[in-house]
Structure 1
Amino acid sequence: MRVAIVTESFLPQVNGVAGTVRHVVDRLTATGHQVLVVAPGAGPTAYAGAEVVRVRSLALPGYRSFPLGLPDPVVHRALDRFRPDVVHLASPIALGAVGLRAARHLAVPVVAVYQTDVAGFARQYGLPADRLIDRWVARLHRRADRTLVPSSASWDQLAAQGVPDLHLWRRGVDLDLFDPGHRDPALRASWTEPGHVVVGYVGRLAQEKQVRRLLELADVPGVHLVVVGDGPERGWLQERLPAATFTGMLRGPALARAFASLDVFVHTGEAETFCQTVQEAQASGVAVVAPAAGGPLDLVSPGRTGSLYDVTQPQALRGAVAALVTDPLARARMARGGQLAVAGRSWAGVVDELLGHYTAVLGGPSERLAA
């Protein structure tokens, strides 16, 4: 099959959209499919045997590491030259709209993957454009032949906006990389003295992740806080959490060691459509504390695979963590339950499932022109 992936983000960016596309390309090319990637900004022009076409972009103020794709005739020319059987839109917002128009002009069916709650992020920044963004994203998905959503919350969100033909498509996890066997006593010793419960956050340090809520954990007795990641909020957090360990961004084996060396993983953002770091913590054999909102609602079964806290209640994160700090048996039970829950979620299986969605739309694109 010939698959053209038009994505809002790709290497060298490190985020959920870019990571998912990378795993999709890895599996598709490894199983004999031909892939073209169209992505914004500078970066590699080839990956895993697939050509990567780069288009014009604009750096977003306050989020300069995320280039926003601009309308560019290169998209249409690239798709026309490649002659795909199906066009895959990865989290369509700006460049995805251009890819959708090109696919429609070429009469190629479109599978759109909803992955980023951009309107939710806008709300976190106090921007008044959240409703306009919601309508725009819903319009793009209504015009696709099939939309794949990562969670029940995302399904409900798009269904309420009239998006038809929704299908659940979760993310995989690298089970070779994230594993309890990577727990590193020496790394833990470099973080804190023996006897402390190590609680960690892993992810971008930005306002949309609501990382300032980590201050709730500043003085929980018996806790040492580790913050893995980077972003514009890092300086603010370091100033107010002087006892915490800030590692900066980690990747590959270093990230796997950090995950597995935690006792409790916490997440703070409530606008997550899926929350990949929850799965990575579970695969690493770590108890999870996550918001009772968005994607984590599907990933965490309270008391069995983790703990959920009420995002509307001040100090709820602190209370959930404090309860686990004094209950090592509960931590062990949740860690084991989480590991079992993700044991079958390999990227190979998830991408093979995606191929079924491609095949389903190959009968021919619809003529959706919904507003």
Structure 2
Amino acid sequence: MKIAIVTDAWFPQTNGVVKTLSTTAEQLRGFGHDVCVIEPGQFRTFPCPTYPEIRLAWFPYRLIDRLLREFAPDAVHIATEGTLGAAARRWCRKQHMPFTTSYHTQFPEYIRARAPIPLAISYAHLRGFHGGARRTMVATPALQRQLEARGFRNLVRWTRGVDVDLFRPRPKEYLSLPRPIAVYVGRVAVEKNIEAFLRMEWKGSKLIVGDGPARKTLQEKYPNATFVGFKYGEELASHVAASDVFVFPSRTDTFGLVLLEAMACGVPVAAYPVTGPIDVVLQGETGVLDDDLAIAAVEALTLDPQECRDYALAHTWEAATQQFLTNLAPRPALESVVAATKPLSQNAQPAQR
């Protein structure tokens, strides 16, 4: 089957959306499908306000029209609500082509953190955007319930996976910081609520792996924390595995791939009991959820690393991609093809960072 994935989030961005989409595309190709990813690098772009590293396409409809006509997809998945997503949605509606969408980011909360725009207005816009889709894919039960309460319909589940070969237990000696080491991995931005982590009482070291618009300010304000910037592949996995607890201070993430990556390294998680962690973390087994982040981090130190690893081993990208494939809305004549699709290899390996 020919599958088009349209996304405003793509390399060189480093985030969970890009990781999810790139790995899913690779897995789909491993299943034998033809995948076309339409992304900002193919267009003239401008920096997204307040997110300059995110590039949005200028007036992309004409090129979207040409790319989709040339590829002639059997199914279209619109992954983001940016300018490319809007153009692809318009194209599908004009062509009477069924399409699916996915809800990766709680943009209303992100926008509210920067500007006094009521959540109701932002959610109304997103509800309209996703309303034309045959199905909208969400990562967790909690997110599904939250969106249903705001009037979203046709929601289906699309979970996530982890590369357990890359993210695995490794020597703790890799890091020489005073222990215990609490680590955060991700974008350094206001919506990630990192300052809650940096403010919490902690007898040991705080390590921040990542970068973003708030790094300079936070690094100056919290000189005792260690900021190392973005890390990738083996270096990233080594930093995570050498830590003692993974602290996830975000209250707005829809899943948090880094949670599974930490568990795969045998590192327990400390987080708030909110959407994302509440469906990913097994309370008292792979992590601790508490409204007091410091209490959660201290208690997480007592958990068994092997239980974290065992939990992560059950979450494969292959299974997540099969779920994505089942959720697609192909042309009616191809629905039986999707239902019968099986991976070419039962040992297909997910992409590494």
TM-score by shorter chain over 0.5? yes
C-alpha separation in 2, matches of 1:19 and 1:37: 13
Which residue does the alignment assign to 2:171? 183
- 8 Å Cα contact 1:109/1:364 also seen in 2: no
Q: 1:108 to 1:154 in 2, by over 3 A?
A: same
Q: How far apart are 1:93 and its partner, in Å?
A: 3.7
Q: How far apart are 1:77 and its partner, in Å?
A: 1.5
Pairing 1:67–2:55 present: yes
C-alpha separation in 1, matches of 2:44 and 2:132: 24
Q: How far apart are 1:55 and its partner, in Å?
A: 2.4
Which residue does the alignment assign to 2:107? 118
Q: How does 1:261-300 map to 2 (within 5 A)?
A: 261-300=242-281
Which residue does the alignment assign to 2:310? 340
C-alpha separation in 2, matches of 1:131 and 1:68: 24
Question: Paired residue for 1:240, among 207, 217, 221?
Answer: 221
Q: 1:170 to 1:162 in 2, by over 3 A?
A: same
C-alpha separation in 2, matches of 1:5 and 1:298: 26
Q: State the Cα RMSD in Å.
A: 1.9
- Of structures 1 and 2, the one with the larger relative CO (CA 8 A, separation 6+) is 2
Q: How does 1:1-371 map to 2 (within 5 A)?
A: 1-40=1-40, 42=41, 54-72=42-60, 73-128=62-117, 130-180=119-169, 182-185=170-173, 187-189=174-176, 191-192=177-178, 196-217=179-200, 219-221=201-203, 223-310=204-291, 316-324=292-300, 328=301, 330-331=302-303, 333=304, 335-358=305-328, 361-363=330-332
Describe the SS at the equivalent of 1:258.
helix
**Matched AA of 1:99:** A
C-alpha separation in 1, matches of 2:180 and 2:133: 47
**Matched AA of 1:36:** C
Structure 1 unaligned residues grouped into runs of 5+? 43-53, 311-315, 366-371
Q: How far apart are 1:301 and its partner, in Å?
A: 2.1
C-alpha separation in 2, matches of 1:37 and 1:294: 28
Describe the SS at the equivalent of 2:162.
coil
- 8 Å Cα contact 2:74/2:330 also seen in 1: no
Q: How far apart are 1:270 and its partner, in Å?
A: 0.3
Which residue does the alignment assign to 1:49? none
- 8 Å Cα contact 2:8/2:84 also seen in 1: yes
The superposition leaves residues 148-197 of structure 1 with CA deviations (integer Å, 9 ceiling, x where unpaired) of 101122212221233222111111111111111x3341x222x33xxx21
The superposition leaves residues 216-238 of structure 1 with CA deviations (integer Å, 9 ceiling, x where unpaired) of 23x522x1111111112112222
Aligned residues: 333
Describe the SS at the equivalent of 1:164.
coil
**Matched AA of 1:293:** V
- 8 Å Cα contact 2:172/2:243 also seen in 1: no
TM-score (norm 2): 0.89
The superposition leaves residues 10-50 of structure 1 with CA deviations (integer Å, 9 ceiling, x where unpaired) of 1111112211111011112222211111112x3xxxxxxxx
Describe the SS at the equivalent of 2:266.
coil
- 8 Å Cα contact 2:198/2:225 also seen in 1: no
TM-score (norm 1): 0.85
**Matched AA of 2:43:** V
